[in-house]
Amino acid sequence: MSIFSNRITKLFNVDYPIVQAGMVWTSGWKLASAVSNAGALGLIGSGSMYPDVLKLHIQKCKAATSKPFGVNIPLLYPDIEKHIQTVIDEEIKIVFTSAGNPKTWTSTLKQHGITVVHVVSSSTFAKKAEDAGCDAVVAEGFEAGGHNGREETTTMVLIPAVKDVINIPVLAAGGIATGKQMLAAMILGAEGVQVGSRFVCSNEASNHINFKEAIVNSKEGDTMLSMKKVVPVRLLKNNFYEVISNAEASGASKEALKNMLGHGRAKKGMLEGDLVEGELEIGEVSALIKDIKPAAEIVQEIWDDFNAALKDPLCQNI
Amino acid sequence: MSIFSNRITKLFNVDYPIVQAGMVWTSGWKLASAVSNAGALGLIGSGSMYPDVLKLHIQKCKAATSKPFGVNIPLLYPDIEKHIQTVIDEEIKIVFTSAGNPKTWTSTLKQHGITVVHVVSSSTFAKKAEDAGCDAVVAEGFEAGGHNGREETTTMVLIPAVKDVINIPVLAAGGIATGKQMLAAMILGAEGVQVGSRFVCSNEASNHINFKEAIVNSKEGDTMLSMKKVVPVRLLKNNFYEVISNAEASGASKEALKNMLGHGRAKKGMLEGDLVEGELEIGEVSALIKDIKPAAEIVQEIWDDFNAALKDPLCQNI
């Protein structure tokens, strides 16, 4: 395979412009190091980690790979100062921030020589991220799993819209699990992709096997952007989803919905494998995911599929 | 420009695998003939036409072009038998059916030598269309304007899912207004595209200029899939949208919502230009539409952009 080079591979110093999303209860050191060792960029997802747990994951990840890896920090994390201090102390080189204002921490991180990428769901926030000094953005379409924007703009429309207003590179996220989808996103204007759901179904992902198997068994229409009155989250439909969406449709207040959601729902579903009462955050592309395999094989499969599609975009050989 | 040929151009006998959607209050003989004359496939949208009006539009379209054109028939149209009889009597060669069961009329149409394409929003219905004898399907993603599926599957995920289960060709719809988006959709597995919103902003579209200008002025998040308790419709947000979506969020019944919707809302908005109380059906891609121009220019622009992207998919020359 020939060497590929663009602004994203140079920014992260990786072989492939593929980033594994830093997902709660999923993206620990095992997944991040496996992805980085395979030539893509692995991210530790700090959103479900206590500060000391994050420190431990970073140290284990360093021991497991000599390749670049990063940390995702949701800016609404309650102990945000501690997470920021941890990545500085541990000399992390790449931080992806999400769910918050990029102005707050970008300059602090940049002062420590950290490459900062912010996750957005609209061109308005992409511009704000650029203005805040970010090095790149992840533009995340409506089809993506977990927390999402209120505009409901899909990847097909979002990527050209974002590309149009910023000069820093765009990573596309949402609906991307194959190399063909990666190439499609890059034709739309992305210079790389962030892949989430596909890596949830990797051996190294720390989420529960019940959750992985539920994704493999899911089909179109089995995920839904839900809890819009609280904060929009895409999840796999289950009993918890039915209860909360029925309440929402019957006019339940934000407060009532928050109470129904309670605490620890995502942990219950994703880490502990409770498929009935847990919150199972995942993207629409789960309908296309058919197996659980090592993360390195996923990286290689996406990359090979991407290159095959690039050689013969219209499948005229088939 | 070199000749392009694939299953879709052969099926319709057109130069480019681009179809202009048969949209209510928009796609009359003027638009359909302009698109067909430009080398793509124009469709007359019969959903907003009385039977005698459809007959007139077909006759005028025949007078305005010698190129192939087709008729879109929503299968839930109240006078469906008359529309079917009209296309048979007028010796229409291509019919796109939507919003209904493809089993009901496909064989009748096929017996009269008509090419039949059915619009679907899931791979399950794509398979049913193939089983019913359709020649192709339009797979319409969540981002598309007007009536849509309940699964909310976006074009990025829907096209590979549909491609996977059928052998007849797939036309992608939803989120496609540029040649880059067209190429992205074709990399995902489509062999052509159906473009709606972009042609709403053509000179020849019969909808009101107020509506066209509202689309040009719209931005991301300005359309929303709405009225899910009745039938999901993507529309431009306005006063009517606010009223009905607030009612829906407060727990209004399907019956109450139907009463609020009333009759003639789409006509009021799209044809008569009432931007406050009318229903303004349009796709998410309206955020990327910046001008109103002749349909032939739109066709050529998409085609040129498609070919440029095909030559240099990753924009490495830029």
A178/B122 Cβ within 8 A: no
Residues 17-76 of A with CB under 8 A from B: none
List CB contacts (< 8 A) between B181 and chain A.
156, 160, 188
Q: Is B279 on the interface with A (CB under 8 A)?
A: no
pTM of the predicted model as reported, rounded to 2 decimal places: 0.97
A184/B188 Cβ within 8 A: yes
Distance of CA B276 to the CA centre of its chain: 24
CB B97 within 8 A of CB B87: no
Token couple for A267:
């942990």
Give the span between the Cα atoms of A15 and A112, in whole angstroms.
Answer: 24
Q: Which of B153, B220, B309 sits opposite A161 (nearest CB)?
A: B220
Q: What is the pLDDT along chain B (318 residues), one digit of tens a residue?
A: 458 999 999 999 999 999 999 999 999 999 999 999 999 999 999 999 999 999 999 999 999 999 999 999 999 999 999 999 999 999 999 999 998 899 999 999 999 999 999 999 999 999 999 999 999 999 999 999 999 999 999 999 999 999 999 999 999 999 999 999 999 999 999 999 999 999 999 999 999 999 999 999 999 999 999 999 899 999 999 999 999 999 998 889 999 999 988 889 999 999 999 999 999 999 999 999 999 999 999 999 999 999 999 999 998 754
Q: Kindly list the structural domains of chain B, giving each domain's residue range(s) and its CATH number in brackets, ordered by start.
A: 7-206+288-310 (3.20.20.70), 219-285 (no CATH)
Q: Which of A155, A249, A313 sits opposite B154 (nearest CB)?
A: A155
Residues 116-135 of B with CB under 8 A from A: 122-124
List CB contacts (< 8 A) between B153 and chain A.
143, 220-221, 284, 287
Give the span between the Cα atoms of A278 and A113, in whole angstroms.
Answer: 39
Name the closest residue on chain B to residue A181, using Cα atoms: B188
Q: Is B152 on the interface with A (CB under 8 A)?
A: yes
**Which amino acid, residue B241?**
Y
DSSP state of B48: G
Residue B81: Cβ within 10 Å count: 12
Give the three-class secondary structure for B241. Answer: helix
Q: Is B284 on the interface with A (CB under 8 A)?
A: yes
Name the closest residue on chain A to residue B185, using Cα atoms: A184
CB A194 within 8 A of CB B253: no
Closest CA to B200 of B97, B273, B93, B122: B273
CB-defined contacts A:B, below 8 A: 155
Give the span between the Cα atoms of A94 and A110, in whole angstroms.
Answer: 10
Torsion sign over Cα A110, A112, A115, A116: negative
Give the span between the Cα atoms of B50 and B293, in whole angstroms.
Answer: 28
Residues 225-254 of B with CB under 8 A from A: 225, 229, 248-251
Give the span between the Cα atoms of B234 and B314, in whole angstroms.
Answer: 31
**How do B146-147 and B233-236 pair as beta strands?**
antiparallel
Q: In what order do the strands lie in the sheet with A233-236?
A: A146-147, A233-236, A223-226
Q: Is B189 on the interface with A (CB under 8 A)?
A: yes
For B11-48, b where at least 16 C-beta lie within 10 A, e where not — what string? bbebbbbbbbbbbbbbbbbbbbbbbbbbbbbbbbbbbb
